[in-house]
Structure 1
């Protein structure tokens, strides 16, 4: 990288802030500088680039075509630099930091409630957790590991199984009583909620229950478990949800388990990590702890059916 082509960071920040606000004055307020300092930094940047970034129109500034292009190109790197700086600062007070990618539902409903135990056992371990929905290249992303749902296939990574996704039928008590649901066959005519990423779930469940259901694919469709769970809580329909996801709702009575019939998806949850890297102590420690928690999940008895 040629230093001659990399303007000072202060000038880039001044330009981005002024462009975002459309004002040197408001940029100065955000950056705790004077209006004159912002104007000077932008002018020096323009002189360095050899192009005009703003047109000065009376008391206003307006981006030129070159300014709009430059803003578009530098905004991403500035955000990346900010994120990288914050991430490095998180290492303060920790002997080592684990950078983990998780699925949103798994992270919120299963992992987060258990992290207190991990931190008690390993108080010097730091955690940076981000959401990723799809497999990525560990060589291009700053992650030490990831929680993956699907098949154990991830290029350049080792996938260790955690547990299957066991899905159970749930609904609110109000919904069950309103639709007189006493047998699995009663669900054929009752409203059901569908998850876009598990389109065959209800068909599989009815097959498991020995019930013919030509309408298995009908029902309101949702992209995420969280929205579907809230819809079920608010009496919109019956839902097939992972057992681990609704444990608290069942315990609180916001949802009830309709029948003692479940289905296990062919896909499962995995902990994946790069195959060409030696695991750092914090990653190895987390892996061992996570596999232990997953074993507990697999051997945990079924949530009891409501009376």
Structure 2
């Protein structure tokens, strides 16, 4: 239920306030909005009267947000941004059917995007907007409908649909492998190791799985899989990489398994969404399509997904 109208200022009042708060100047706000300074001043005064709170301190020819005004400006700016995004989405797809999806960059570029033509063939008119997010976020304060998530099934307030499991292998370039004479897990301790900062204990877990003792594990640090993959391909070291996401490099010979060892299970991918969006038609269609794609790959002779 919407609050009473007296608590819903008009768009013009909010726009004038937001522009003045952001620029710190009535003159700049007036120029941005195509209004006169006096018109912007009147709109801000009308807003203050309507909500009963002083938003600016007037000091000679300058204005400065009050503490309450600063907090209100943040909320109003976010609300106006969401309205703007909704309008852009509607303009891009007047018939509706827009899905705003947060993706993990490596998974998105390697697994999702190459398969999306099949999704759009099955659902003509659907628009999927992809936004990179590396960490969970609060759906209440965002415009995203859903997110692809990896790791533990922990996302407060979200509905989680299990998708697929992941396993990793230590991979490096063929030349690197030959130069370092890699044969056993113990040999890897003498070679440069590449680390992902979102998985700081990945190598420790792998060496434990191989029952190989270790001390401090040093090496280059990366914030995304894609740059770590390129570093491994260039011969800078050994990287622990998801097996099903580096199939191309393995097939082309740009990467090889550093040693013969069973892939290490590392976690599961999920599709996360807020409860109120779970039945949203574009999201429901995307979820069903993705689960079907995963099932088809599991049944394929050359299974690309680690179990």
Q: 1:26 to 1:262 in 2, by over 3 A?
A: farther
- Is residue 291 of structure 1 aligned with residue 291 of structure 2? yes
Deviation per residue, 1:113-138 (Å, 9 max, x gap): 2212211232122324454733867x
- Alpha-carbon distance between aligned partners in 1 of 2:164 and 2:271, rounded to the nearest angstrom: 10
Q: Give the Å deviation of 1:76.
A: 3.2
- Is residue 241 of structure 1 aligned with residue 241 of structure 2? yes
Q: Give the Å deviation of 1:239.
A: 0.5
Given candidates 17, 29, 32, the residue that maps to 2:34 is: 32
- Alpha-carbon distance between aligned partners in 2 of 1:62 and 1:135, rounded to the nearest angstrom: 31
- Alpha-carbon distance between aligned partners in 2 of 1:175 and 1:105, rounded to the nearest angstrom: 23
For the 8 Å contact 1:164–1:264, the answer to whether it is kept is no
Q: Give the Å deviation of 1:204.
A: 4.8
For the 8 Å contact 1:158–1:275, the answer to whether it is kept is no
TM-score, length of structure 1 as denominator length:
0.74
The residue that corresponds to 1:51 in the other structure is 54
Deviation per residue, 1:151-186 (Å, 9 max, x gap): 5677774634x3321212222455445534355442
Given candidates 24, 30, 51, the residue that maps to 1:22 is: 24
- Alpha-carbon distance between aligned partners in 2 of 1:167 and 1:72, rounded to the nearest angstrom: 42
The residue matched to 2:44 in structure 1 has which SS? helix
Q: Give the Å deviation of 1:190.
A: 0.6
Q: 1:63 to 1:273 in 2, by over 3 A?
A: closer
| Larger deviation, residues 8-17 vs 22-31 | 22-31
- Is residue 268 of structure 1 aligned with residue 268 of structure 2? yes
Q: Give the Å deviation of 1:18.
A: 1.8
The residue that corresponds to 1:77 in the other structure is 79
Q: Give the Å deviation of 1:251.
A: 5.7
Q: 1:174 to 1:10 in 2, by over 3 A?
A: farther
The residue that corresponds to 1:112 in the other structure is 113
For the 8 Å contact 2:169–2:257, the answer to whether it is kept is yes
- Alpha-carbon distance between aligned partners in 2 of 1:87 and 1:179, rounded to the nearest angstrom: 53
| Larger deviation, residues 175-184 vs 290-299 | 175-184
| Larger deviation, residues 10-19 vs 145-154 | 145-154
The residue matched to 1:190 in structure 2 has which SS? coil
| Larger deviation, residues 162-171 vs 127-136 | 127-136
Kindly report which structure 2 residues correspond to 1:204-243, keeping only aligned pairs within 5 A, or say none. 204-206=205-207, 212-215=212-215, 217-243=217-243
- Alpha-carbon distance between aligned partners in 2 of 1:221 and 1:197, rounded to the nearest angstrom: 10
- Alpha-carbon distance between aligned partners in 2 of 1:275 and 1:23, rounded to the nearest angstrom: 41
Q: Give the Å deviation of 1:214.
A: 1.6
Unpaired runs of 5+ residues, structure 1, are none
For the 8 Å contact 2:145–2:283, the answer to whether it is kept is yes
The residue that corresponds to 2:126 in the other structure is 125
The residue matched to 1:244 in structure 2 has which SS? helix
For the 8 Å contact 2:158–2:272, the answer to whether it is kept is no
Q: 1:277 to 1:38 in 2, by over 3 A?
A: closer
Q: 1:182 to 1:11 in 2, by over 3 A?
A: same
Unpaired runs of 5+ residues, structure 2, are none
